[in-house]
Structure 1
């Protein structure tokens, strides 16, 4: 019986470098060679419309009434059954872990929330993966109309890495609580602040950075500003075009690195 070759056997890594690849993240990652990526920085859709408490699911709005996310993502409805969502994210992390080198790392940004009155802390997603550290991204601003719990002001970045990963020289001087203002002037409904990704990438020695949920291209912008290569995967053609434009615009301005 003839064995099927891995999808990436037909591709060279150079075919992917500094490209925005439009497609499903799992299918596309399977085309990339194992242990070829230095660093993965990403934040998946949070499945916010599958919610019991914030009005996202039925359009009531609540604290989200003026938010772009009330209209959802392009090409992703963000409303999967929870078990299906967890399985999808674990599959994504498994594929990411295959891709990073033996000194590579994944910075996986997510958000804890209260669902049906109980904390949903994402352990069902990250359990079993080698989480070395949790970094708190404290966002400036926010509002909460739910009387059952205090105002959520942070998101969580899981540092998932292989044993040989080390930080760049001097980066360990940063604490594990980071405060950055949310990105406000961006057409994407849930963009990263550039300064947050600058902190992550500059804290590593990575030469090639992957973001499998590239969105509006912030990871690519930060990588190129710091002289690193990137690979971006994004399912939405609209967001791919937005990312290309933002990257082109950013490269016309002087770099601080």
Structure 2
């Protein structure tokens, strides 16, 4: 059961801690929108060269060592259950007109397409948005180079988009963030698209990383709540937020 701690105590803060434990201390129906991209468990993948670093980019990529304090290499069933538990907590926290935008990646695992049904299970997915990001890594000649990720829109019954936001369609062509010091960041333009497409005032990201969701919330005069287990990434996020407040939107969009 969630505690009765006031949600206002979390506004415009990044909590350094475990996502599940932190969310369980937050009251039900207290946030409007969740936008997040969790660790993908890439080091547990077969065929992408991540485990042994063979070929091309992975040989020198930061993620070959995992994240700052997380190896990104859980047994597949444990990882899926962990993410499902997180989604259930996110859903509990949503107001009756709220929605989760959950960014993940379909991949070929053991020769078969893995669409993350092991994570989503019975969640009420209203729509799948394709984030066409281009680029990617594929050392397997058995399938084409992946150039997109997916965003599951998991909505409560009364959720509606902001006026005219439906005109964006369900394929978003947005370039990857290539200059962020975090090893697995998503672009500010992607977070901006999600936030501006909703009317929610309280935006939660339980895997905050380098603070991109927080910056998008600030851009649109929304409150943000962030959770991040790595102290290093929390400090990174705070520095980016401070820089954004000092330099403004244009410079942040161009980093």
Tell me the TM-score range normalised by the shorter chain.
Answer: over 0.9
Deviation of 1:127 after TM superposition, in Å, equals 1.9
Look up the SS of the partner of 2:178 in the other structure.
coil
How many angstroms apart in 2 are the aligned matches of 1:178 and 1:148? Answer: 26
How many angstroms apart in 2 are the aligned matches of 1:176 and 1:8? Answer: 37
Q: Does 1:8 align with 2:3?
A: yes
Look up the SS of the partner of 1:181 in the other structure.
coil
Q: Is the 8 A contact 2:55 2:139 kept in 1?
A: no
Give 2:193's match in structure 1, choosing from 174, 195, 199.
Answer: 199
Q: CA RMSD in A?
A: 1.3
| Residue of structure 1 in register with 2:175 after alignment | 181
Q: Does 1:243 align with 2:240?
A: no
Unmatched 5+ stretches in structure 1: 1-5
The equivalences for 1:222-233 within 5 A come to 222-233=216-227
Q: Does 1:74 align with 2:68?
A: yes
The equivalences for 1:44-55 within 5 A come to 44-55=38-49
Unmatched 5+ stretches in structure 2: 251-255
How many angstroms apart in 2 are the aligned matches of 1:189 and 1:179? Answer: 21
* Alpha carbons of structure 1 residues 239 and 170: separation in structure 2 relative to 1, 3 Å: same
| Residue of structure 2 in register with 1:3 after alignment | none
Look up the SS of the partner of 1:134 in the other structure.
strand
Number of aligned residues: 250
Q: Is the 8 A contact 1:171 1:203 kept in 2?
A: yes
How many angstroms apart in 2 are the aligned matches of 1:18 and 1:185? Answer: 25
Q: After TM superposition, what 4+ stretches of structure 1 lie above 3 angstroms from structure 2?
A: 58-63
Deviation of 1:253 after TM superposition, in Å, equals 2.5
| Residue of structure 1 in register with 2:151 after alignment | 157
Look up the SS of the partner of 1:246 in the other structure.
helix
Look up the SS of the partner of 2:77 in the other structure.
helix
| Residue of structure 2 in register with 1:33 after alignment | 27
TM-score by length of 1: 0.94
